[in-house]
Amino acid sequence: MKPRVVVKNLSKYFGNKKVLNNISFEVYEGEIFGILGHNGAGKTTTLRILAGIIEDYEGYIEINGKIGYLPEERGLYRDEKVVNVLKFFGELAGMKKEEINKNINYWLNKLNIYNYKFSKIKELSKGNQQKVQFIVSVIHNPDILILDEPFSGLDVFNTKLLKNILYELKNEGKTILLSTHQLEKIERLCDRVLIIKNGKVVHYGRIENICRKMAYIEYLENGRLIKKEIPYNEAIKILKESAENVIKFEVRYSLEELFFE
Ligand SMILES: Nc1ncnc2c1ncn2[C@@H]1O[C@H](COP(=O)(O)OP(=O)(O)OP(=O)(O)O)[C@@H](O)[C@H]1O
């Protein structure tokens, strides 16, 4: 299958400072791909280059499909009504009027903010503004979604809502690239990840291949309920020795150690 996004030996300087150092990766149809790293690692710069916002860089970039982009710095016309903002971006993307209206209603419903259709942006909570901004990135039905810190500002409930939407889009064959510095937000969401540190690739691949295999286990020990996440091998030992006391057993992959090493 032809990749939707190809990045080869990408480097970027700001002045004398090299903020991206020879980064390479590919992303395919139907994938959720996470770009992870601490603050300042180079995630936003990478996504801005892919979105075409930064044009001077070294290396090779190939984008095969229509892009939707959620920038890190959110900014919508605060005095304008939600519906008008969305119409504006739909028109900007060259969509037909009927399609714009249909998609606006679909996405407002999907994100549980249909009630705010005629409210001004500034009247919405930060989380709801963020949802409108997300709609801006998908309104034109892009093949490739580039989302910079999509979960920032969202509460637990809305994080889950957005994750479910991302799964749906993935199942429709969309390509999703997202960045985050909040590891716990994506650990089980991404098919593959790129971990960058000071502009260099530290890890690239499927989560289960680059992570330590762990297990979450709940079991009874001397009548006490114990709940913990431990290395997989240790959990298997408990399971073998006293299966009758094990209440719950889930395999998990921990990126944490990699991330902080
Ligand atoms: N326009 C710019 N001019 C100069 N330096 C910049 C510019 N944009 C980013 N940088 C520098 O490039 C490096 C990478 O920044 P970038 O925003 O890509 O990191 P990030 O991983 O997205 O971080 P965060 O999680 O904080 O958003 C940082 O050292 C940053 O200070």
Mean pLDDT of 76-95: 93
| Ligand 1 touching residue 68 (CB < 6 A) | no
pLDDT in tens, 131-168: 999 999 999 999 999 999 999 889 999 999 999 999 99
Report how far ligand 1's centroid is from the alpha carbon of 45 (Å). Answer: 6
Ligand 1 in reach of 19 Cβ (< 6 A): yes
Nearest CA, atom 29, ligand 1: 40
Using CA positions, which residue lies closest to atom 30 of ligand 1?
40
Establish whether residue 16 lines the binding site of ligand 1, counting it when its CB lies within 6 angstroms of any ligand atom.
no
Q: Is 231 close to ligand 1, i.e. is its CB under 6 Å away?
A: no
What band does 188 get if pLDDT is binned at 50, 70 and 90? confident
Contact yes or no for 128/116 (Cβ under 8 A): yes
Q: 107, 67, 63, 110: which is closest to 87 by C-alpha?
A: 107
pLDDT band at 261 (very low <50, low <70, confident <90, very high): low
Interatomic CA distance for residues 220 and 243, integer angstroms: 10
Pocket flag, ligand 1, residue 71 (CB < 6 Å): no
Q: Is the CB of 45 under 6 A from ligand 1?
A: yes
Residue 53 CA, ligand 1 centroid: distance in Å? 14
Mean pLDDT across the stretch 257-261? 58
- Calculate the average pLDDT of the chain: 91
Q: Is the CB of 42 under 6 A from ligand 1?
A: yes
Rounded to the nearest 5°, which phi and psi values hold at 184? Answer: -65, -20
* Over residues 54-60, mean pLDDT: 95
- Please state, in angstroms and rounded to a whole number, the distance separating the CA atoms of residues 163 and 77: 26
The pLDDT of residue 153 is: 84
Q: What is the pLDDT of residue 212?
A: 73
Supply the ipTM of this predicted assembly. 0.91
> 233-246 pLDDT, tens per residue?
899 999 898 889 99
According to the model, what pLDDT value does residue 61 have? Answer: 96
What length does the chain have? 261
Check residue 67 and report its DSSP letter. Answer: E
Q: Where residue 257 falls among pLDDT bands split at 50, 70, 90?
A: low
Rounded CA-CA distance 150/169 in Å is 14
For ligand 1, atom 14: residue with the closest CA? 42
Q: Are 124 and 108 in contact (CB under 8 A)?
A: no
